[in-house]
Amino acid sequence: MKVAVVIFPGSNCDHDALHVSGKVMGWDVIPVWHESAELGGADLVILPGGFSYGDYLRCGAIARFSPIVEAVIRHAKAGGLTLGICNGFQVLIEAGLLPGALLNNTCLEFRCIWTYLKVQATNSPFTRELEVGDLLRVPIAHGEGNYFAPPELVKQLAAEHRIAFRYCDEHGKATEAANPNGSVDNIAGILNEGRNVLGMMPHPERASELVLGSADGKRIFESLNAAYADVGW
Amino acid sequence: MQYRCEVYIRPRADILDPQGDAVNNALANLNFQGVSEVKVGKYLTLLLESDGQSAAEEQLDKMCQTLLANPIIEDYEMKVTEA
């Protein structure tokens, strides 16, 4: 699988995404600078975490107008695999590829902690090797990850099985205490209508090797691997 | 003609505003009485070269909708005056 990791000024998880793609998964991965207008024929595009353009105005708002994001929009709209992690999720929302908004954490703190994610939807290339109800131990690191969507949109996302992950406690209960940022319905990650775009605040690339404390995040990359091997992309 | 543009952006009334809530609590802790519904927003100013008042307002509105505000979570108001 050919993978492109997009780098904006202020990205800081780009090397983690490159490392996991290249060294852990063995994919053919290239970094792509935000001024580029081409994704180099990538099958999967990863928008990594960080603080693109210093988070000025709103997180992701300025990055969204980078030349490369126009290419990402074309890629995603043509059904190409697109994964936005943390700031990458914020960029995908600003670009209109995913619905809703990400607000300040209700605690007003930058939260850098381990969380448990409960898998909610498995009919996507990102989650097909997972089971509904599986728990993934994956860290978060953000100040603005409070997912907001109007009630009717939350209902629609749930009905269409587009809520990929919910924050939960270690027993799999999606409690208020297990919600690190105030996200509506404990939502941690969502899929687009075509199920080829996933945005998530937690960092699976920081939990893909046991030496880092968890390899649960790798299961998402393994799902992508299986999806690609199975049907191509 | 040059126009001085001002844009007030604030969280929509039905959206949770954690910053506003924190400021509200801080004011209460300082014994300021009767404060409620604190909202924290943004204030932007810019100079704009345009053909006329209505053209300037139209351009500014487009800027707000495209980049400056996020209509899902924010309301905005504009003020355009000859510079």
Instruction: Name the band, by pLDDT with cuts 50, 70 and 90, for residue B1.
Output: very high
Q: How many CA atoms lie within 13 A of A55 on its CB side?
A: 16
Q: What is the pLDDT of residues A117-156, one digit of tens each?
A: 999 999 999 999 999 999 999 999 999 999 999 999 999 9
Structure tokens given for A5: 């990791």
pTM flag (> 0.80):
yes
Return the exposure string of B22-61: e unless at least 16 CB atoms fall within 10 Å of the residue's CB, then b: bebeeeeeeeeeeeeebbebeebeeebebeeeeebbebbe
Domain span holding position B63: 2-82
What is the average per-residue pLDDT within A53-64?
A: 93
Amino acid, single-letter form, for residue A147: Y
Torsion of CA B63, A9, A206, A79, to 10 degrees: 50
Nearest in space to A17 (alpha carbons), one of A38, A53, A47: A47
What is the average per-residue pLDDT within B72-80?
A: 96
The answer to whether ipTM exceeds 0.90 is no
- Cβ-based contacts of A184 with chain B (< 8 Å): none
* B42 DSSP β-pair partners: B9
Torsion of CA A50, A55, A61, A65, to 10 degrees: -70
Whether B24 and B38 have beta carbons less than 8 Å apart is answered as: yes
Which residues of A belong to the active site? Answer: 86, 203, 205
| CATH number for B72 | 3.30.1280.10
What is the average per-residue pLDDT within A154-183?
A: 98
Chain A contact for B65 (CB, 8 A cutoff) = no
Q: What is the pLDDT of residues A15-41, one digit of tens each?
A: 999 999 999 999 999 999 999 999 999
Q: Which of A58, A65, A104 sits opposite B70 (nearest CB)?
A: A58
- Cβ-based contacts of A182 with chain B (< 8 Å): 16, 18
Distance from CA of A153 to the nearest CA of B (A): 12
| CATH number for A80 | 3.40.50.880
Number of structural domains, chain B? 1
Whether A140 and A202 have beta carbons less than 8 Å apart is answered as: yes
- Beta-carbon separation of B73 and A103 below 8 A: yes
| Beta strand extents in A120-161 (DSSP E only) | 135-142, 146-148
- In this prediction, residue B14 carries a pLDDT of 86
For chain A, what is the mean pLDDT?
A: 97
What is the average per-residue pLDDT within B59-66?
A: 97
Helices marked H in chain B — which ranges?
18-29, 53-63
Distance from CA of B67 to the nearest CA of A (A): 7
Interface probe for A, chosen from B10, B15, B16 (most Cβ of A below 10 Å), is B16
Chain A contact for B19 (CB, 8 A cutoff) = yes
- Beta-carbon separation of A148 and B19 below 8 A: no
Q: What is the pLDDT of residues B8-60, one digit of tens each?
A: 999 998 888 988 999 999 999 999 999 999 999 999 999 999 999 999 999 99
pLDDT at A103 > cutoff 90: yes
Please state, as a whole number, how many other Cβ atoms lie within 10 Å of the Cβ of residue A74: 12
- In this prediction, residue A80 carries a pLDDT of 97
What is the average per-residue pLDDT within A186-197?
A: 98
Whether A101 and A154 have beta carbons less than 8 Å apart is answered as: no
Domain span holding position A15: 2-231
- In this prediction, residue A232 carries a pLDDT of 73
